[in-house]
Amino acid sequence: MGLSIRILQLVVISACLALSAWRLHPDRNHFNLAHWRIAEITARELASLNSVPLLLDAREEEAFAQKHMPGAIHLSGQKWDDELPTFLGAWQPESPVVIYCNGQSCGASKLVALRLLNDLPAANIYVLKGGFPAWEAFQTSLGTSKL
């Protein structure tokens, strides 16, 4: 019986430490079920939208400086507080927001979408499926490139 009590104590202590770590983590607000609500949009669907979307580039600043989608605004987690006012100045609640990063395996666009959904739950937010490479491939398939 002594061993069972020790194991139970360890489980309770571990759970308390895990909960404390979660509560103190600076990004704890990002760990919620809103992640499952993030809609994806393809480059083809983006091109056929009836309204002009606000494009957000979640890639590194250097990649954004080299080339980006026309009219895109840079908004990443690294300089969130500095870049957010630019987004808020351009954002129109009735217009869709499309966020992209470096590709399918890049999670930066989903993190930006998640932060925006936490702050602006009514926003019409999409993540570009395949990111910037998918958009470039789509532009190439059309024979156009607007970089």
- pLDDT of 35 > 60? The answer is no
The tokens describing 90, both together, are 């351009």
Please give the average per-residue pLDDT across 48-75, as a whole number.
94
Closest CA to 73 of 45, 108, 98, 107: 98
Summarize pLDDT for 90-115 with one digit per residue, the tens. Answer: 999 999 999 999 987 788 999 999 99
Angular region, 96: left φ>0, alpha ψ -120 to 50, beta rest: beta
pLDDT band of 24, cuts 50, 70, 90 = low
Closest CA to 55 of 80, 39, 75: 75
- pLDDT of 8 > 70? The answer is yes
**pTM score of the predicted model:** 0.72
Please give the average per-residue pLDDT across 6-15, as a whole number.
79
Closest CA to 72 of 59, 80, 82, 81: 59
Q: One-letter amino acid identity for 66?
A: Q
- pLDDT of 64 > 70? The answer is yes
Domain ranges of the chain: 1-31, 32-142
Q: One-letter amino acid identity for 113?
A: A
**Which fold would CATH assign to domain 32-142?**
Oxidized Rhodanese; domain 1 (3.40.250)
Burial class (CB in 10 A: 0-12, 13-18, 19+), 59: buried
